[in-house]
Every structure is written in structure tokens, then in C-alpha cells.
Amino acid sequence: MAWYIGRRVLQMIPVFLGATLLIYAMVFLLPGDPVAALGGDRGLNPAVAEQIRAEFNLDKPFFVQYLLYLKGILTLDFGTTFSGRAVIDVMGEAFPVTIQLAVMALIFEGVLGIGFGLIAGLRKGGVFDATLLLVSLFVIAMPTFVIGFVMQYVVGVKLQWLPPTVGGDVSFQTLLMPAIVLGAVSFAYVLRLTRTSVAENLSADFVRTATAKGLTRSRVVNVHVLRNSLIPVITFLGADLGGLMAGAIVTEGIFNIPGVGNTLYKAIQQGQAPTVVSLVTVLVIVYIFANLFVDLLYAALDPRIRYA
């Protein structure tokens, strides 16, 4: 196992370097000048543009720029926004909110997805199963922002069950609806994954043995079927945590939540390329670590992986 962990962590290093280089290159090597864009249609005073370029190291050769940027990431120095605040301070305010939102979404999709998926898998081919499958397809086919608009309008404005926007008031109650919207698509995936996995395991030899031993139905299902079926589901949930942080851009915009997604969205609208790069980099690092964690968890749950 130690050997597997070591190999997996070593593999992460080139991915980390490559991904950060890619993001940096996307923003600063592509046609289009982030500094010139700051001036809008009137254009920027050349002296001011020169000063901003020097401040963000944009006057140096590309690889020097990238190395300075990499040094910044490793020393947790993400630079400042164009308005002069340290990016790390902005993140310090925004990240806890987004993490709370993402974790709530994860719990929602995990509990309900596994629960409904289990019931559907146990009664594969039944009416309940068919209904759930169709509902899950509709949820996957519907863009998150449409689900968001409709929920906001129906639950928030019409029925007034939950507050329609969050604003400055971040609490469990205000984040509940955004979390459901954010987790909706993944909920459908978890449901389908659990269903397939349960239905497959039900006909496995070890389940027949357990039944033949005289175990009760509930013990066979809860201990033998469910535990084995959860391996792919847990993998999906772990990887999804990173995906949810990225998906938060849309959800946070709709419900006006002061999280990373909203900060990123505003930075994009204002053309603050260095801030965008910093925020995206942190999100990608979270994503890479989530994937690493999942792989290790997978190996811990399923011995076949680490000996392969």
C-alpha cells in the first residue's frame, strides 16, 4: 500500500506542473492582452500599462513569468487583485462559503442518491425504478442554471419556503436550496451508479452464498450488497467534490452567494486575469487532491487495485 501511495503521489507532480503551466499559458500566451483589456474601449495610458505589466511580471519572458507564478503558488503568495487586495484574503473569505455549499450538496446527493439508487436497484424493472430512471435522465439533461431559476422562482418566490437569494446571510437555511440545485445533476449520476452496481451485485456469487447461509434479507442487502456496491459510488463522490467547486460558479451567481464561484465570475467580468488565474489554480489544486484522495480510498477499499 505504501508503495502504491508513493507512486500515486509522484504521478501527481507532473500533473500539477502541467496543469498550472496550461492555465498560465491559456491566459497569458493566447491572443488578447489582459492588461490592454483593462482600459476598455478608450485604451490604457502606455505608462500605466507598463507599470501594471511590471507589477504582474508580464514584461519578463514567458517561462520566467511562469516560474515566478509557480513560486507564488508554493509560498501561498497569489498576488493582489487589480483593486489592490491580496488574492489570498479574498480567497479566505470566499472559500469557507463554497466549501460549506459543496459539502451540503455532497451530503444531499450522497444520501438521497444512494438511498433511491438502492431501492431502484433492488426492484430493477419495476415502476419505481423506471420512474426514477426517467427523472434522473431529465435532471442530467437540464442545465443547472435552468433548475436553479425554476427552484428559485417556485420554492423561493411563489411558495416562499426558503429564501430565494443568499446575499450576506450565509447559513444552513439560506444555503439549502442552492446546495440542492448544485448537487442535482450529481444526484442523478449517483442514483444511476448505485442502481447499476446494486443490480449487478445482487446476482453475484457471494450474495447467493450469503442467502444460502440463511442470513436475513436485510443483512444480505445492507452488509453484502450495499457495501460492495458503494465502492464505485464513493469514488464518484470524492471526485465530484472538485467538480462541485467548479460548478459553484453558476449556482453562486444565481443565488448571489459570496463564494469562490461568484468572486471568479466577477473577476472574469472585470477582466482581472491574474485573479482569475489564481482562483482557477486553487480550484484545480483542490480537484487534483480530491482525485488523489479518491484513488487512495479506492485502493484501500478494493485490494485488486493496489496489486494490479
Partner 1 sequence: MPELTRPHQSHFFADLDSTPLGLVDLVDESAAPASLWVEAWHSLRRRPLFWISATLIALVTLVALFPSLFTSLDPGFCELKYSLDPPTAGHPFGFDRQGCDIYSRTIYGARASVTVGVLTTLVVVLIGSVFGAFAGFYGGWFDSLLSRVTDIFFAIPLVLAAIVVMQMYDDVSVMTVTVVLGVFGWPQIARITRGAVMSVKNADFITAAKALGSSRLATLARHVMPNSAAPIIVTATVSLGIFIVAEATLSYLGIGLPTSIVSWGADISKAQASLRSQPSVLFYPAGALALTVLSFIMMGDVVRDALDPKARKR
Residues that bind partner 1 (CB under 8 A): 11, 14-16, 18-19, 22-23, 26-27, 30-32, 34, 137-138, 140-146, 149-150, 153, 157, 242-243, 246-247, 249-250, 253, 264-265, 268-269, 271, 276-277, 280, 283-284, 287-288, 291
Nearer to partner 1, 156 or 219 (CB): 156
Nearer to partner 1, 42 or 213 (CB): 42
CB of residue 135 to partner 1, shortest distance in Å = 11
Q: What are phi and psi of 17, to 5 degrees?
A: -60, -45
Task: Choose among 12, 27, 14: nearest CA to 69.
Answer: 27
Strand, coil or helix: 4: helix
CB of residue 214 to partner 1, shortest distance in Å = 26
CB of residue 261 to partner 1, shortest distance in Å = 10
Q: Give the Cα separation of 90 and 246 in Å (integer).
A: 17
CB of residue 137 to partner 1, shortest distance in Å = 6
Task: Choose among 237, 142, 131, 145: nearest CA to 194.
Answer: 237
Task: Choose among 255, 104, 259: nearest CA to 180.
Answer: 104
As given in the structure block, the three cell numbers for residue 269 are 467580468
As given in the structure block, the three cell numbers for residue 26 are 491559456
Q: Give the Cα separation of 112 and 187 in Å (integer).
A: 7
Nearer to partner 1, 48 or 150 (CB): 150
CB of residue 216 to partner 1, shortest distance in Å = 25
Nearer to partner 1, 39 or 253 (CB): 253
Nearer to partner 1, 145 or 223 (CB): 145
Q: How many residues does the chain have?
A: 308
